[in-house]
Amino acid sequence: MTASAMQLCLVVGTPRGFTRSVLESLLKRGNRVILSCNDSTIGEMEQERLSSLYGRNKVHFTPGDHTCTKNLESVFVKALDTFGEVNLIVNSTANDPQRLSLEELSETRDLRGLEKRLDLRQQEEDVEGIRRLGRLAVKYMGKQNGFQGGNLLNLTSAVELSCSAGAGTCTVLGTTRALGMHNRAKEHGVRTTTVYQPTIDYPDLSQAAQITDDSHSPHYKWDRYSAYVRDYTGYMALHVGDTAPPGTAWAFNKDIKLEEVQPESISSSCGITNKMCFWMGCPMVKEVDIEEVQREEREVETNCANNLESLVETQEMD
C-alpha cells in the first residue's frame, strides 16, 4: 500500500491534462478527493464524470478561487469540518490560462515579445502558487497545530525549463528547495515536492467524457500517445510525492522518464544564482514562523468572538 493510498486528498487547480491524470490516479488508489477550482462548470462536469467511474462518495467538488488565499482557507476549513484531516495536497498551476492587459498588449511589438511576457507571467504564478499553498499546508496539516503532517505536491508548468524569463525572476526549483529545506520542516512535518508538466498532449474534457461500448475507456484513441502514457504520468507524479526527498523538483524527459531537475537544467536565473537557491534555499521564501501563524489564529478567534458579542448586544438592545 502506497503512502498516499486511502487518504483524504485536496486537489487545487483546474482539472485538465496533467492535473486530471494525477486526480484519477488518486481515485484509483482508493483515496477520497476534494477538488477545488475557480471554474465551476469544469469542476462540476469533472465531479460527475469521476463519480460515475469511481463512486459518488469518492470525489467532491467545492468552488473557490485557487489563486486567492482567503478562498483557499475557506476550502481547507470546510474540508476539515466535513471530512477530517487532510493528508495530501496537490497544488496545480499547470493549466491556469494566462491573460495580458490591453496596455501590455500595446507595449508588445512582436509575437516573440508577447510569448516572453506570457512565459514570465506563468513562471511568476507558478512560484506564487507554491508559496501560497506552502503556507496553508503548514497551517492546516502541520504537527504544530495538532495534525499529522503530510505531503504537498506541486504540479507546475515547464516554462522555466525551456524559456529564459530573465534576471530577477524567482524560480520554481529555488522555491521548492526553500520549502523543503526550512529548519522547521521537520517540526511541522509537511514534505514539499514539485513535478513539472510533461510536454505531451492530453485530451480535452469533452473527449475524455465520452465513453462508448467499443472503447470502454474515456481515453481511447485520442491521439498518437496511448492511454497508458497518460495514466503513467499521473501515477509517477504521485510516486514522487510519496518517495522523493522533500525540496526536490522533477521533470519528464523525452522518454517520459522522471529526472531530478538541477540548477543547470533551468534556462533563466533569478539574478542571485540558481545554485545558491538549490543548496541554501531561496532567500525570497521566508521561514514559516509557527508562532506567527498561531498568533494570527488567536487574533482571528478573538475578532470572531468580539463580533459575536457585539451582535448579541445589538439584538438585546433591539
Taking only the tens place, the pLDDT of each residue in 269-280 is 554 445 556 655
Regarding whether 198 and 296 lie in a shared domain, the answer is no
Regarding whether 133 and 255 lie in a shared domain, the answer is yes
pLDDT at position 212 is 39
Regarding whether 176 and 72 lie in a shared domain, the answer is yes
Structural domain boundaries, residue 155: 8-287
Regarding whether 276 and 136 lie in a shared domain, the answer is yes
Kindly state whether residue 262 falls inside one of the protein's structural domains: yes
pLDDT at position 226 is 60
- Alpha carbon distance 218, 307 (integer Å): 50
Regarding whether 137 and 91 lie in a shared domain, the answer is yes
Using alpha carbons, select from 230, 71, 244 the residue that is nearest to residue 152.
244
Please identify every stretch of the chain with a pLDDT value under 70, giving residue numbers as ranges.
1-6, 96-111, 113-114, 164-168, 182-184, 201-226, 267-318
Kindly state whether residue 219 falls inside one of the protein's structural domains: yes
> 0.85 exceeded by the pTM?
no
pLDDT at position 168 is 59
pLDDT at position 236 is 95
pLDDT at position 1 is 38
Regarding whether 46 and 96 lie in a shared domain, the answer is yes
pLDDT at position 183 is 64
Regarding whether 23 and 96 lie in a shared domain, the answer is yes
pLDDT at position 195 is 96
3-state SS assignment for residue 50: helix
